[in-house]
Chains A and B, each alone.
Chain A
Amino acid sequence: MTEMSGKPSNRPISPHLSGGGGLLHYVWGPHMLVSILHRIAGDGMALVGMPLLVWWLYSISAGAESYEYFLSWFDFYYLGYVVLVGLTFAFFEHLFSGLRHFVMDAGAGYELKTNKMWSILVPFLAVIVTAVIWLSIAFQNL
């Protein structure tokens, strides 16, 4: 601390990401996208999905009238479908991304090409599975 007395240090601080003036010392890649998507999907499910799941269970336990009120919000301009499709994608994104983390926990999958391939495949697979589930629901309801 003694060398810092008076004026602030101009040494790089961790994480040293910016060169100033909006310039970044890194280039965006799929591994960064899948990393931040993991956090957004997880925290989205935690803060939106779980209150909804608990509200759903509570409304069933509180009686038919309470459940009807829950469903009235579900049917409000397809709101329920929009939220459920979003949560379905968030779940599979977080699941596949989490499985990728398990592989990396074992020390595998860090080779540049392998890492990039799985980083691209994770959100791609999540979109595919979400589409398959909701298209099958849509066709059943036709």
Chain B
Amino acid sequence: MGSGTNIGRVRGLGSAQEGAHHWIVQRVTAIANMLLVLWLIFSLLRLPNYEHGLMIDWLSSPLVAVPMILMLVSIFWHLRLGLQVLIEDYVTDHGMKFALFTLLNFFAVGGAALGIFSVAKIAFTGVAA
């Protein structure tokens, strides 16, 4: 390994052994997102109104709470992968890239956790005080 160009330094070392995983998971979560978001859209369209009591009743059903939680996991996972590529494409500074990846991880995990906890709270406790 010399101190030549970037491509010269990595040539012959083989793949990074991780690109395919990103690619596959992005596509698996894409299919899940398609099914789950279409479910959300048609479920919302079928509701007679969007008042608080009905929202609580609706989200308390396992057949709503479970797909909603699965949707949150799948979407936040998918957007974590997509925004990673956005950062990789446009941010060249290594420090800034590291900071944005950290921020992205906090956003994805934190957002998913808050959403899932909220659905679980509604499903397990019913009407909020």
Contacts and interface: CB of A to CB of B under 8 A. Distances in A.
Interface stretch (A17-25, A56-64, A115-123): A56-64
Contact of B56 (A51, A60, A95, A98): A60
Contacts of A91: 37, 41
Given A50-B79, A105-B27, A58 B45 contact: no
Given A1-B4, A61-B128, A67-B55, A42 B82 contact: yes
Contacts, number: 73
Interface string A38-74: 0100110111001101100110111110011001000
Contact of A62 (B3, B41, B79, B128): B128
Contacts of A39: 86
B83 interface: yes
Contacts of B55: 60, 67
Interface residues of A, number: 30
Given A61-B121, A63-B129, A43 B114 contact: no
A102 interface: yes
A91 B3 CA distance: 46
A133 interface: yes
Contact of B52 (A53, A67, A95): A67
Interface in B34-68: 34, 37, 41, 45, 50, 52-53, 55-56, 59, 68
Given A43-B83, A61-B122, A95-B34, A50 B76 contact: yes
A76 to B, nearest CB: 16
B5 interface: yes
A42 B79 contact: yes
A13 interface: no
A137 interface: yes
Given A61-B119, A137-B45, A50 B75 contact: yes
Ranked nearest first, the 4 interchain pairs of A and B with the lowest CB-CB distance are: A46-B79, A61-B118, A57-B118, A54-B115
Interface string B80-100: 001100100000000000000
Contacts of A137: 45
A105 B23 CA distance: 11
A68 to B, nearest CB: 8
Contacts of A88: 41
12 contacts: A42-B82, A46-B79, A47-B83, A53-B72, A57-B68, A57-B115, A57-B119, A61-B117, A64-B53, A67-B52, A98-B34, A102-B27
